[in-house]
Amino acid sequence: MKIIIVGAGEVGFNIASRLASEYKQVTVIDTDETAIQRIHDNLDVQTIIASGSNPEVLIRADIKNTDILLAVTDSDEVNLVACFMTNMLSPGTKKLARLRNPDFEKYHEIFKTQSPFIDTVINPEIEVVNTIRRIIDVPGAIDAGSFVDQKVRYAGISVQKHSSLVNMKLVDLPSLFEGNRPIIAAIIRNNEAIVPRGNDIIKAGDLLYFVCESQYFYKTLKILGTSGPKVKNALIVGGGRIGERLARLLELDGIKTKIIESDINRCHYLSTHLEKTIVLHGDGSDQKLFLEENAGQNDAVICVTNDDETNILVSLLAKNMGVANTITRIGKSNYFPLLPTIGIEKVVSPRLSAVSSILQDVRKGKVLSDISIFCEKGEFIEALAIEESGITGKPLKKISFPKGALLVCIIRDDQITIPTGDSVIHGGDKIILFTVKEAVKKLEKLLTVKLGFF
């Protein structure tokens, strides 16, 4: 697969890194020589220092033989022109555009359905806000989400040292449930993703990702010892676009919301554009302000400034004041491995959200959604099983799944099945899989060609 990425910023760098690690042919175009040099020094991809919206540059990058164009610069206009030029030069190339300006938001669907020059619109900020909202709904979880129109849900939960799960074998976990057991899709331990087996033992400090039917979700959380009170009030630190979007969403859901913002002009804007949210001018890392506003009494504190260090500091301050549910926006990937050691567990990242949005369109097979978890150590893939693929027509125990990949559930005619070795996937079934990134290439083959091809 040949992919051109226009934009060598954080999103471009990280998606190029991810795709190059999967042995895809990647070319990155950007006018910023420093950003291109960073990619050239760290990744095995081709680079061009030029404008990706220039048709002659796209021709030089071999756009006519390119499967996908990803336009992910910080300029919406450049991204739109790059997609327009690509459609003119190579109509068969799939085109993805990153659009951040809120004024474009109401046109996203029109771009995708009525315009021939954009196939998918990416807005990491919207995805981050949706992720935060999902986590707020599950106070005891580190991460949470859903598949198949919310019929199936997943969550990542931290195993505390006093938990009854400590030292339990996974094979014994079903004994805690009266049928309708969840499936443990992954264990994150020492910053690595493990696809578990029945004899694996749960340890204190593990992050368990489980999947179950939505109707049993909260019951499963309770049985696993992870629950918390419903969030009724929240404090947002950072009144930028993410903070504003989140406040609007919380207002609609009846959650009492405050925003702390350091820019007085932005405060004036927010106070006139938000209906019920209380807007406070000040430094979110000011302990005196936190005390005056009784920040420790909030059910959730969400730190979404554009400064990672401020977000970390404020989250730690909130936790020290007794807030159990803190959510931290992080942009720099090198911080991720360090955060759990200092007590920062609930982390959201525009970069990771962008990667997940993009991977959905890059994956081979009929992929419906793709969700990266925990610093891209693994991903959930929701797909439609193809009749002629290697994953259909045989009992699972006779299918050679790649090491590091696991079939989580099968959905057929709205019937959800946690699979066993005797389960058989039919063409047209929706399936949910978990995979570590090292297994993705083999899993893609399994989803697209007959098993005999291996």
Return the CATH number at 310: 3.40.50.720
* Nearest CA-CA partner of 443 in 410, 407, 395: 407
Over residues 183-242, the pLDDT tens digits come to 999 999 988 899 998 899 999 999 999 999 999 999 999 889 887 778 999 999 999 999
Which pLDDT score, from 0 to 100, does residue 454 have?
38
For the chain, the domain total comes to 4
Domain match, 271 and 180 both: no
Report if residue 147 sits inside a domain.
Answer: no
Which pLDDT score, from 0 to 100, does residue 190 have?
86
Over residues 278-331, the pLDDT tens digits come to 999 999 888 888 888 888 899 999 999 999 999 999 999 999 998 989 999 998
Domain match, 90 and 114 both: yes
Distance of CA 400 to the CA centre of its chain: 28
Token pair of 387 as six digits: 């009749």
Residue 340 has pLDDT above 60, yes or no: yes
Over residues 391-400, the pLDDT tens digits come to 999 999 999 8
- Indicate the burial class of 358 (C-beta count within 10 angstroms; 0-12, 13-18, 19 or more): buried
pLDDT tier for residue 452 given thresholds of 50, 70 and 90: very low
161's CB contacts (< 8 A; 6+ apart) are 204, 205
- Parent domain of 75: 2-122
* Domain final residue pick, 223, 247, 282: 223
Domain match, 250 and 283 both: yes
Range with lowest mean pLDDT among 103-112, 177-186, 235-244, 403-412: 103-112
Which pLDDT score, from 0 to 100, does residue 453 have?
40
Domain match, 77 and 160 both: no
Domain match, 343 and 359 both: no
Q: What is the mean pLDDT of the chain?
A: 90
Which pLDDT score, from 0 to 100, does residue 450 have?
56
Over residues 432-441, the pLDDT tens digits come to 999 998 888 8
The answer to whether 375 and 337 are in contact (CB under 8 A) is yes
The answer to whether 317 and 290 are in contact (CB under 8 A) is yes
**Residue 297: CA atoms inside 13 Å, Cβ hemisphere, count?**
7
Rounded to an integer, what distance in angstroms lies between the CA atom of residue 313 and that of residue 329?
12
Ramachandran angles phi, psi of 406, nearest 5°: -145, 135
Which pLDDT score, from 0 to 100, does residue 437 have?
83
What mean pLDDT is predicted for residues 423-439? 92
Domain match, 387 and 434 both: yes
What mean pLDDT is predicted for residues 368-372? 87
Report if residue 128 sits inside a domain.
Answer: no
Which pLDDT score, from 0 to 100, does residue 116 have?
79
Alpha-carbon Rg of the chain, whole angstroms? 23
Which pLDDT score, from 0 to 100, does residue 296 have?
87
Over residues 106-163, the pLDDT tens digits come to 888 888 777 778 998 988 888 899 999 999 988 789 999 999 888 999 999 999 888 9
Domain match, 8 and 112 both: yes
445's CB contacts (< 8 A; 6+ apart) are 364, 390, 453, 454
* Nearest CA-CA partner of 353 in 334, 386, 321, 330: 330
Report if residue 202 sits inside a domain.
Answer: yes
pLDDT tier for residue 451 given thresholds of 50, 70 and 90: very low
* Domain final residue pick, 324, 351, 378: 351
Domain match, 290 and 327 both: yes
* Domain final residue pick, 309, 336, 351: 351
Which pLDDT score, from 0 to 100, does residue 449 have?
61
Return the CATH number at 171: 3.30.70.1450
